[in-house]
Amino acid sequence: MSKPKYIFVTGGVSSSLGKGIISASLAKLLQSRGLNVTIQKLDPYINVDPGTLNPYEHGECYVTSDGAETDLDLGHYERFLNVETSQANNVTTGKIYQTVIEEERKGKFLGKTVQVIPHITNEIKRRIQLLGNNNSLDVIITEIGGTVGDIESLPYIESVRQLRWELGKANSLVIHLTLIPYLSAAKELKTKPTQHSVKTLMESGINADILVCRTEHQISDEIKNKLALFCNVEVDSVIQSIDASTIYDVPLLMKKEKLDQVVLRKLEISNFKEANLEKWTDFVNKLKFPKNTIKIGLIGKYVELQDSYKSILESLIHAGSINETKVEVCSIHSEFIDNDQINNEISNFDGVIVAPGFGSRGIEGKIKAIKCARENNIPFFGICLGMQMAVVEFARNIIGLKDANSTEMNKKTLNPVISLMEEQKTISEMGGTMRLGSWECNINEQSKVFEIYNSKLINERHRHRWELNNNYLNQLENAGLNSVGINAKTGLVEIIELPENDWFIGVQFHPEYQSTVEMPHPLFVSFVKACLSYNKSKK
């Protein structure tokens, strides 16, 4: 077979239908048949990357090990496939235009008018095929953000049209994800919106090969026949995607619907093995039928939008499944925490996570929640800003440095226990300039985290500008806060723990970016276990 084969996933009728999950599920099925698959996301917005977007706008910003700030769908790809993604897996309109404009300034197109077709579409096609330069890949799934018909996605759709032509029919296919709404008054599923969106796609010169239909009710054969007839697809290429109780069910549902079989046939891929999803099924079963329940508080300031802390929530699901424990996450808005909430809610949790974040809003609430966890020996997990605030809390309440703070929150504090990293001091541009991506960290063997990782050297991903100020390290350690993970190159403190407490750990990095179904992150696994023991000890 010629390699790689390309699968394009477009969306119709409505946003938020879950193109990322469908793409990741299909990739999982193909991977389980022995194929080497990767997924790419094309985002139609003009930001060069989502790093400068507020989580309210676009959900969490996911970070790859090579330091790309990307769309949160890449998190799903990694969690499903257990394979790393990279800079090349997320392309935005901003990136495309930036490249083309830089080339124009250099004189690459001298004498020519630079236009959407062919210059922008050529750059899109180049970016899509960039991943294909890696010869080991069998299939590349490219998810096109937005909904068909959006002005912003037109150049992408046009590029797909051109590429299909250039690659040939058997080397590429288009999956259109659409919605079949149920009208309760008529007690009927409606196909018309899908017919219209397929038609819009056709107006751009693209015939969908497969329709994946999101639905709340079973789609009858009659409806499948109707969709096939009106949308120019074969009947077995109308795939039902019924609402699932967990996203991790979707690969199993897609297998039942034979999505992978139809894809393999259309792409003329024949030398594959049977899909084996035994391990995955075991994970889903443990998730669905837990033996225990714990309740933990997630303290942050973007709690209104669940997607803001996507990777943390998914990591807790992975860790919950392996511990056969349902992890109920209670989101707490750090800006409004008062003593009442501390006494009646936070102090009753089985564990407390203080989330990453930026800026001073809600900081004092986070510090109060940390104090409560520390004093009551409630398992505490501080991630990035959460770790920094644990240091501030300790400095204020144990060492007695009443105005201790991070200079991010108070530039003039007399006790800057968290300060700006040296190399950050001269940086003025905001985009892509944080300390990003994977860094090595040495772990102290006399620590809890050593037991947890069972390793002296770890690699974790970062996204921050501030650090623990090493001028305060002695004072902190003498008072009982241990620095147990140190970056070998920079000497920065990456992990702190309080040995006095049963489970009190803060990490400067983001472990949540590395938790997958196959390899739940050891820190989350251990945290959930600690919460469970704490919960049992209360009874």
The binding track of 262-301 with respect to ligand GLN, each residue x by CB under 6 A or -, is ----------------------------------------
Q: Looking at 88-96, 156-164, 298-306, 354-362, which segment touches ligand GLN (CB under 6 A)?
A: 354-362
> By CB under 6 A, is residue 463 in contact with ligand GLN?
yes
**Cβ within 8 Å of residue 93, ≥6 positions away:** 43, 44, 45, 46, 152, 155
Q: Looking at 236-244, 457-465, 471-479, 485-493, which segment touches ligand GLN (CB under 6 A)?
A: 457-465
Count CB neighbours of 152 within 10 A. 14
> By CB under 6 A, is residue 356 in contact with ligand GLN?
yes
Q: Looking at 125-133, 185-193, 239-247, 353-361, which segment touches ligand GLN (CB under 6 A)?
A: 353-361
Q: Which is nearer to ligand GLN, 260 or 408 (CB)?
A: 408
Q: Looking at 73-81, 119-127, 355-363, 397-405, which segment touches ligand GLN (CB under 6 A)?
A: 355-363
In the bound complex, what is the minimum distance in angstroms from residue 478's beta carbon to ligand GLN? 25
Q: Which of the residues 158, 512, 521, 531 is marked catalytic?
A: 512
Residue type, 472: Y
H-run or E-run covering 102: helix 93-106
In the bound complex, what is the minimum distance in angstroms from residue 508's beta carbon to ligand GLN? 8
Tell me, yes or no, if 176 is annotated catalytic: no
In the bound complex, what is the minimum distance in angstroms from residue 356's beta carbon to ligand GLN? 3
In the bound complex, what is the minimum distance in angstroms from residue 390's beta carbon to ligand GLN? 12
Structure-token pair, residue 2: 């010629």
Question: What DSSP state is assigned to residue 370?
Answer: H
Among 80, 302, 381, 466, indicate the residue that binds ligand GLN (CB under 6 A). 466
Q: Which of the residues 384, 393, 441, 497 is marked catalytic?
A: 384
CA distance 507 to 494: 6
In the bound complex, what is the minimum distance in angstroms from residue 305's beta carbon to ligand GLN? 16
> In degrees, to the nearest 5, what angle opens at C-alpha 529 toward C-alphas 528 and 530?
90
482 forms beta bridges with: 497
> By CB under 6 A, is residue 255 in contact with ligand GLN?
no
Place of tokens 């309760």: 184
> By CB under 6 A, is residue 358 in contact with ligand GLN?
yes
Structure-token pair, residue 241: 């995607």
For ligand GLN, the binding residues in 202-231 under the rule CB under 6 A are none
Query: What letters, b where the CB count within 10 A reaches 16 and e where it falls short, cover 336-362?
Result: ebeeebbeebbbebbbbbbbbbbeeeb
Q: Which is nearer to ligand GLN, 158 or 408 (CB)?
A: 408
Axis-axis angle for helices 192-203, 221-231 (nearest 10)? 20
CA distance 142 to 91: 10
In the bound complex, what is the minimum distance in angstroms from residue 320's beta carbon to ligand GLN? 23
Q: Which is nearer to ligand GLN, 92 or 419 (CB)?
A: 419
For ligand GLN, the binding residues in 407-436 under the rule CB under 6 A are 408
Q: What order of strands is seen across the sheet that includes strand 416-420?
A: 405-406, 416-420, 466-468
CA distance 466 to 279: 40
Structure-token pair, residue 75: 């998190």
Residue 373's φ and ψ, nearest 5 degrees, are -65, -45
139 forms beta bridges with: 5, 37
Among 44, 357, 379, 437, indicate the residue that binds ligand GLN (CB under 6 A). 357
Helices (H), 418-482: 448-453, 473-478
Output Rg (C-alpha) for the chain, integer angstroms: 25
Tell me, yes or no, if 119 is annotated catalytic: no
> By CB under 6 A, is residue 109 in contact with ligand GLN?
no
**Cβ within 8 Å of residue 160, ≥6 positions away:** 8, 10, 142, 144, 174, 206
> By CB under 6 A, is residue 464 in contact with ligand GLN?
yes
Tell me, yes or no, if 510 is annotated catalytic: yes
In the bound complex, what is the minimum distance in angstroms from residue 427's beta carbon to ligand GLN? 12
> By CB under 6 A, is residue 512 in contact with ligand GLN?
no
> By CB under 6 A, is residue 384 in contact with ligand GLN?
yes
Q: Looking at 352-360, 361-369, 492-500, 525-533, which segment touches ligand GLN (CB under 6 A)?
A: 352-360
In the bound complex, what is the minimum distance in angstroms from residue 355's beta carbon to ligand GLN? 8
Count CB neighbours of 422 within 10 A. 10
Q: Which residues bind ligand GLN (CB under 6 A)?
A: 356-358, 384-385, 408, 463-466
Active-site residue list: 384, 510, 512
